A and B are shown apart, each in its own frame.
Chain A
């Protein structure tokens, strides 16, 4: 069952600037959904639309089986969020920041200390949040998002500003919340490596369009489709002609020619033909095809 879906969600900031095009997110209940894309791909705009921070223009948003429009307050009761940079009151302490949200959520007061412990900020005392390091601010923002025990967490690049150790801690915390409490998590990032160990599902957005959505395994299956062999020669134009005669249609990328994956024997055969035609071969190598390469490939195309 889907916890969140969007149907043909599109958004424009001005007449000529289409920042989102037909985004169809499908976030399964209980999953950790990695929302990936390079900077300015439309991740934050999408997440802001999900939270009602931007006025919806086209498309539908449904959360917990209900349309967002008309159910904003009841839906937000079960959502914790962190959008972009930390959103905290710098003139107040961590406790005071949570106090004022406790008034809104009307959750037990004891929950404040619980979430502070959970994010590793148990003893900041009278220190104002404005004096916190970026990492501490980020942790406090996560504590704010968790205060009311939400069923869905929407986190926009939550590990920004954290040191490697902090990143691991936050990942472990999110994983624990997902496994132990069944919280559905949408986490955006521009780095696959940062979240690939955490997420169960992935959506890749580029230039306002979804270019992939599925499980991590489905993304790995793309490896086979995307495996290439790169050749570097002293005469690529003639090399292309030779390959065309073999019914292979290479793609030029810089000084290299890329051909879809072939067997070792075929590679040897191609090299022999090049040499036979007095073409010098400097390199014949498989293209790096880990998840990061697949991701890069998706966003390049």
Chain B
């Protein structure tokens, strides 16, 4: 079973090469760091002071995650997940895939695993991008010294794990929806609608019921803000719960499909 899963995962991984979803991971991960680098080159006169500051890394991390947590990560996950299943619809290959000597569970979970690994890949590349957005101005602009404070690895790792967990409900619900609809616009439209809903319920005390809010809540949690009603409970457990429920429902809907190609 495990060997079959590994072979299926390898096959699914090969399938995504040269697709929009694989480019989206790279482009999405480096988008904000590139904007930051450009901004720093434009405001290069203030960089010497900025790089001397005590909280340099925390500030960089915070400004990098701002657009990411609220917009790019949820939208990127919505797009990438829908695009992965779209590969089969677009190429009319579900029938080929379902005629292979692998179990339906293996197909379902190996595809989901590819999406999750792509999200991990995105996090790694994004962190590299954040580091490069600090390093490149230091290397090319004279008078800028390397930040004196150490990089807060533990904080970054912890927050990355939180953001990763918080986007899992989006992965699983988008996966569920995109497995049900051939038309690519339906999962994208539903995903976009839920993201907009998330933004509009942030100040509502039960806003955390919407599973697409967790990345935003995680970003806003430590800030003095009136933009969101930060839930009192642990949203990461909620995210894991939603992920588990959506995945189970999605699996049963998938295996009970009458037409498999």
The number of residue pairs between A and B whose CB atoms lie closer than 8 Å in the complex comes to 83
B1-20: CB near A (< 8 Å → 1, else 0) gives 00000011011101101110
Q: What are the residues of chain B within 8 A of A87 when measuring CB–CB? A: 91-93, 95-96
Q: What are the residues of chain B within 8 A of A92 when measuring CB–CB? A: 14-15, 17-18
Question: In the bound complex, do residue B91 and residue A103 qualify as a contact, i.e. CB atoms below 8 Å apart?
Answer: no
Q: What are the residues of chain A within 8 A of B221 when measuring CB–CB? A: none
Q: What are the residues of chain B within 8 A of A88 when measuring CB–CB? A: 91, 93, 96
Question: In the bound complex, do residue A73 and residue B259 qualify as a contact, i.e. CB atoms below 8 Å apart?
Answer: no
Question: In the bound complex, do residue A100 and residue B14 qualify as a contact, i.e. CB atoms below 8 Å apart?
Answer: yes
Contact among B15, B102, B260 for A100, CB-based, below 8 A: B15
Query: Any chain B CB within 8 A of the CB of A110?
Result: no
Question: In the bound complex, do residue B8 and residue A104 qualify as a contact, i.e. CB atoms below 8 Å apart?
Answer: yes
Query: Any chain A CB within 8 A of the CB of B101?
Result: yes
Q: With A and B bound together, what is the CA distance between A135 and B259 in angstroms?
A: 27
Q: What are the residues of chain B within 8 A of A52 when measuring CB–CB? A: 98-99, 260
Question: In the bound complex, do residue A48 and residue B101 qualify as a contact, i.e. CB atoms below 8 Å apart?
Answer: no
Q: What are the residues of chain B within 8 A of A96 when measuring CB–CB? A: 14, 17
> Which of A74-82, A200-208, A232-240, A265-273 sits within the interface?
A74-82
Question: In the bound complex, do residue B15 and residue A104 qualify as a contact, i.e. CB atoms below 8 Å apart?
Answer: no
Q: What are the residues of chain A within 8 A of B7 when measuring CB–CB? A: 103-104, 106
Q: What are the residues of chain A within 8 A of B92 when measuring CB–CB? A: 85-87
Question: In the bound complex, do residue B258 and residue A55 qualify as a contact, i.e. CB atoms below 8 Å apart?
Answer: yes
A window 103-133: CB within 8 A of B: 103-106
Least CB distance from A94 to B in Å reads 14
Question: In the bound complex, do residue B87 and residue A104 qualify as a contact, i.e. CB atoms below 8 Å apart?
Answer: no
Given contacts A100-B14, A104-B7, contact A90 B90 (CB under 8 A): yes
Q: What are the residues of chain B within 8 A of A103 when measuring CB–CB? A: 7-8, 10-11, 14
Question: In the bound complex, do residue B91 and residue A73 qualify as a contact, i.e. CB atoms below 8 Å apart?
Answer: no
Contact among A54, A86, A91, A144 for B19, CB-based, below 8 A: A91
Q: What are the residues of chain A within 8 A of B19 when measuring CB–CB? A: 91
Output the nearest chain B residue to A50 by Cβ-Cβ distance.
Answer: B99
Query: Any chain B CB within 8 A of the CB of A280?
Result: no
Q: With A and B bound together, what is the CA distance between A51 and B12 in angstroms?
A: 21
Q: With A and B bound together, what is the CA distance between A213 and B80 in angstroms?
A: 49
Output the nearest chain A residue to B100 by Cβ-Cβ distance.
Answer: A104
Least CB distance from A185 to B in Å reads 16
Given contacts A48-B261, A54-B259, A54-B260, contact A104 B93 (CB under 8 A): no
Query: Any chain A CB within 8 A of the CB of B143?
Result: no
Least CB distance from B240 to A in Å reads 31
Contact among A73, A89, A90 for B101, CB-based, below 8 A: A73
Query: Any chain A CB within 8 A of the CB of B103?
Result: yes
Question: In the bound complex, do residue A144 and residue B96 qualify as a contact, i.e. CB atoms below 8 Å apart?
Answer: yes
Least CB distance from B14 to A in Å reads 4
Question: In the bound complex, do residue A76 and residue B101 qualify as a contact, i.e. CB atoms below 8 Å apart?
Answer: yes
Q: With A and B bound together, what is the CA distance between A99 and B19 in angstroms?
A: 16
Least CB distance from B85 to A in Å reads 14
Query: Any chain B CB within 8 A of the CB of A53?
Result: yes
Q: What are the residues of chain B within 8 A of A75 when measuring CB–CB? A: 101
Q: What are the residues of chain A within 8 A of B258 when measuring CB–CB? A: 54-55
Question: In the bound complex, do residue A73 and residue B18 qualify as a contact, i.e. CB atoms below 8 Å apart?
Answer: no
Q: With A and B bound together, what is the CA distance between A76 and B19 in angstroms?
A: 29
Question: In the bound complex, do residue B93 and residue A79 qualify as a contact, i.e. CB atoms below 8 Å apart?
Answer: no
Question: In the bound complex, do residue A74 and residue B101 qualify as a contact, i.e. CB atoms below 8 Å apart?
Answer: yes
Question: In the bound complex, do residue A81 and residue B102 qualify as a contact, i.e. CB atoms below 8 Å apart?
Answer: no
Least CB distance from B169 to A in Å reads 29
Least CB distance from B150 to A in Å reads 43
Given contacts A88-B91, A90-B91, contact A53 B99 (CB under 8 A): yes
B window 1-44: CB within 8 A of A: 7-8, 10-12, 14-15, 17-19
Q: What are the residues of chain A within 8 A of B12 when measuring CB–CB? A: 100
Q: What are the residues of chain A within 8 A of B101 when measuring CB–CB? A: 72-77, 104-105
Given contacts A53-B98, A100-B11, contact A83 B261 (CB under 8 A): yes
Question: In the bound complex, do residue B95 and residue A76 qualify as a contact, i.e. CB atoms below 8 Å apart?
Answer: no
Query: Any chain B CB within 8 A of the CB of A296?
Result: no
Q: With A and B bound together, what is the CA distance between A90 and B17 in angstroms?
A: 12
Q: What are the residues of chain A within 8 A of B14 when measuring CB–CB? A: 92, 96, 99-100, 103
Query: Any chain B CB within 8 A of the CB of A101?
Result: yes
Q: With A and B bound together, what is the CA distance between A90 and B92 in angstroms?
A: 10
Output the nearest chain B residue to A83 by Cβ-Cβ distance.
Answer: B95
Q: With A and B bound together, what is the CA distance between A100 and B260 in angstroms?
A: 20
Which of A53, A81, A99, A144 has the largest count of B CB atoms less than 10 A from its CB?
A53
Q: Residues of B with Cβ closer than 8 Å to A?
A: 7-8, 10-12, 14-15, 17-19, 87, 90-93, 95-96, 98-103, 258-261
20 contacts between A and B (CB under 8 A): A52-B98, A52-B99, A53-B260, A73-B102, A73-B103, A74-B101, A76-B99, A81-B96, A83-B261, A87-B92, A87-B93, A87-B95, A88-B91, A88-B93, A91-B91, A100-B15, A101-B100, A104-B8, A105-B101, A106-B7
Apart from A99-B14, A100-B11, A104-B102, what 4 extra A-B contacts exist at CB < 8 Å?
A48-B95, A87-B91, A89-B15, A100-B10
Closest 9 interchain pairs by CB?
A: A87-B96, A76-B101, A77-B101, A53-B261, A100-B14, A103-B11, A100-B11, A103-B10, A55-B258
